[in-house]
Structure 1
Amino acid sequence: MLKRLALALLIIVAGSAVTAKTGYYRWVDDNGQPHFTQKPPLDRPSTFIPTGRGYSDDSVNPPYPPKVPAKRADSGTEPAPEKPEKNKEFEVLPDKDPARCEQARKALQNFSRGQRVRVKDDNGEYRVLDSEEQSEQMKKAQEAVDIYC
């Protein structure tokens, strides 16, 4: 019996806490100074200002007018010409690819060791890359690592 009474009392107290209004009171003193308190004053009129959570209410927070830069006194009625927007180009990078990443890292490692690298030319014969070609291939391998890894 006592447990049921305690449970009922707990539900009533929790329910009243959930349904309680949240906000503050605004009132003005004898000097015209506004004050904000959580409890209304007993001897003067006050206005309850509700506070909400999670969203804004346009009736409480009216939308602000758009910000327009002030005109200078010496400026004419014509607005200043707009500056042309710079050509913005965006680089689209491919998705990370573990297989290509591993291949590029191995190639970069081989070039950094100073190993001789043979490539097949147009005739189907193998030839060894000279130092300039190796440095160029090493740069390409580094770019591939940056892209795919």
Structure 2
Amino acid sequence: MKKACLIIFSALLTMSSAHAATYYKWVDDNGLTHYSATPPEGRPSVQIERGSSRSPSGITPSIPSANEPNEAAARTEDKLEAEGFEQNLAAAEETRKKNCDTARENKVQLTLKNRIKLLQDDGTYRVLSDEEKQQKVRQADEAIDTYCN
């Protein structure tokens, strides 16, 4: 159990969080639509508020529409992309919640247990020193701040 908790904790520290309130939609040179938490540099983008399938009022996409066959097809494509974005956002939120729960459980294990064994690459175990244990507790606190707030 301890081994699994430490492995999961280590994996959590390397994961990034998709827990942002504002996202950006933009199109690259090949015509592919992208979504990101940060606006692209030197490229037009549309700001999307979390939980909204439309851009905020007053913001209109500045993506050229010369290649689109008609407005109805463009709206349908945008709607499908927005639905895909919402599904991806829901999946990211579920992952964030699981990461939060795991980070909290790891902190509990680190603070309650006196000896924490860590699996080495060669298959042997070693006990974490007090310094290493305190470092892991700080990392758990950082993971909790990242995933739970």
- TM bucket by the smaller chain? 0.3 to 0.5
**Structure 1-normalised TM-score?**
0.36
Whichever structure has more helix as a proportion of its residues is 2
Could you say which structure has the larger radius of gyration?
A: 1
Kindly indicate whether structure 1 or structure 2 has the higher relative contact order, using CA contacts under 8 Å at least 6 residues apart: 2
**Structure 2-normalised TM-score?**
0.36
